[in-house]
Structure 1
Amino acid sequence: MKKYVAESALIVFSVLFALLINKLFDDYQQEQRAQEALQSIKQEILRNQAIVNSWTTSHKAMLEKIVEYNQSDEIAVKQAITESGYFDFSKISNEGSLVDATLIDASWQTAINVGILKKVDYQTLEIITQVYELQEVINDRTIQSIVTFYFQPSTHSPENIEDTLMQLQLRFLELTGQEVVLTGLYANALEVL
């Protein structure tokens, strides 16, 4: 009887020990995957940071041009923007586009969708979340509002040029302000990654 009890205890101990080893190995693998995800997110943030730095320079130059047109007392200067029958965006963008690259969030979204970030501390997640939420606001609201405004027929009417320039000035002020904040958030995120 003692022999059976000892063998049973040994079997139970062996099974529990195997489960413990398996759990430790799974935890180790999850930790490795979380670290890989954070590295991928860091690379994504570095890429997006370079894009936003370029945008900020470009958008500030556009804002300066808009302010210059707005401050002109000569209506002929303002109407020169619409002399081709539409609001010529290239006159404020120096032949460039509003957005020349796209901010991405594939690594972030993948990490969320597969649940790999459970092993990441709260503060790090909070900082990274702020980055991606502001990116989304800039992409989906602020830039979109400028594009939507630009494609409204009234924007291209010469008699609305002063209102158009004021609206663009306000929207570009918002955009450049958000870009400055996002630049700071990128720096915070890269510190914790």
Structure 2
Amino acid sequence: MENQKPYRSKRKDIPAGHHPNEVYVLRDWKEYIGESLLIVFSVLLALGVTEVINYFHERSERHEMLVNIKDELIKNRHNTKLQYAYQTKVLATIDSALKDKRFQQEIVNDDHFFVNKIAPEGIMYKDLDDVAWQVAKSHNIASKVSINTMTMFSDIYDNQARIVKLEDEAAHVLLAPESRNPANAHLTLTILRDEYKGWSYERTPSLIKKYDEAIKLLEDNL
């Protein structure tokens, strides 16, 4: 062993051949349990804070969606009432035309059906919006309101969609080649009158009542 080199420490403050003393801190089980409980408490606190934040966020989001729906329903109720008055006049004009051959000749002539003669502001007088409703559905409004409220909203907007469909249904009648034939004027006007009544006019009074109920419910709960 004469050729063995003595141990030299890399630390300058420790002489060669000497090993530094290593100190181990011994902790009892109480300290380990204390640290574990502290970690658990921190996790639970973080989860609790997250839940509270999510709760207030969802509550705010729900309130905003319902306010937007209420405002939309108020606007649609107003427009529906205006449209109902307008369509009352349109139907009265159609009834007059059905009894007057000369009036029918004014409406249908020269290969044209002059719809402005009976509906000067167009088939639909006012638009019925559903933007707030579509946004609410995309944000899962069904999970934020009662099933009765959801059913009420769905019913209202479904009836709106049927009323709006009048424009497309009337277009099918008025754009058909047969409607440009003066000999078919009476039949075309009869079909158009039935379209107005079936899709829109006769549905409107009950829809206005549903608007009133929904708006009152929202005003009482917001």
Alignment TM-score > 0.5, same fold: yes
Tell me whether 1:66 sits opposite 2:66 in the alignment: no
Aligned residues: 189
Provide Cα deviations, 1:26-81, integer angstroms capped at 9, x if missing partner: 011101101101101111111222221111111111011112222x2x53343332
Pick which of 154-163 and 99-108 moved more. Answer: 99-108
Q: Give the alignment partner of residue 168 of structure 1, picking from 188, 192, 197.
A: 192
- The CA distance in 1 between the partners of 2:160 and 2:52, in whole Å, is 37
Tell me whether 1:13 sits opposite 2:41 in the alignment: yes
- The CA distance in 1 between the partners of 2:45 and 2:103, in whole Å, is 82
Where structure 1 has 5 or more consecutive residues not aligned to the other structure, the ranges are none
- The CA distance in 2 between the partners of 1:4 and 1:108, in whole Å, is 55
- The CA distance in 2 between the partners of 1:126 and 1:116, in whole Å, is 12
Q: Which residue of structure 1 aligns with residue 104 of structure 2? A: 78
Greater helix proportion: 1
Cα shift at 1:181? 2.5
Give yes or no for contact 1:52–1:179 (8 Å, CA) kept in 2: yes
- The CA distance in 2 between the partners of 1:25 and 1:97, in whole Å, is 50
TM-score by structure 2 length?
A: 0.77
- The CA distance in 2 between the partners of 1:144 and 1:180, in whole Å, is 21
Q: Give the alignment partner of residue 102 of structure 1, picking from 122, 127, 130.
A: 127
Give yes or no for contact 2:82–2:126 (8 Å, CA) kept in 1: no
Q: Give the alignment partner of residue 57 of structure 1, picking from 71, 75, 85.
A: 85
Provide Cα deviations, 1:130-162, integer angstroms capped at 9, x if missing partner: 1111111222x3221012211112112110011
Q: Which residue of structure 1 aligns with residue 64 of structure 2? A: 36
- The CA distance in 2 between the partners of 1:157 and 1:103, in whole Å, is 33
- The CA distance in 1 between the partners of 2:170 and 2:211, in whole Å, is 24
Q: 1:34 to 1:117 in 2, by over 3 A?
A: farther
Tell me whether 1:188 sits opposite 2:182 in the alignment: no
Structure 1 stretches of 4+ moved >6 Å:
none
Give yes or no for contact 1:37–1:107 (8 Å, CA) kept in 2: yes
Give yes or no for contact 1:34–1:117 (8 Å, CA) kept in 2: no
- The CA distance in 2 between the partners of 1:58 and 1:184, in whole Å, is 18
Q: Which residue of structure 2 aligns with residue 147 of structure 1? A: 171
Q: 1:48 to 1:39 in 2, by over 3 A?
A: same
- The CA distance in 2 between the partners of 1:75 and 1:106, in whole Å, is 44
Bigger RCO (CA 8 Å, 6+ sep):
1
Tell me whether 1:25 sits opposite 2:53 in the alignment: yes
Aligned-partner residue type, residue 45 of structure 1: L
Q: Could you say what secondary structure the match of 1:37 adopts?
A: helix
TM-score by structure 1 length?
A: 0.88
Q: Give the alignment partner of residue 118 of structure 2, picking from 89, 92, 111.
A: 92
Cα shift at 1:126? 1.2
- The CA distance in 2 between the partners of 1:20 and 1:169, in whole Å, is 62
Larger Rg: 2
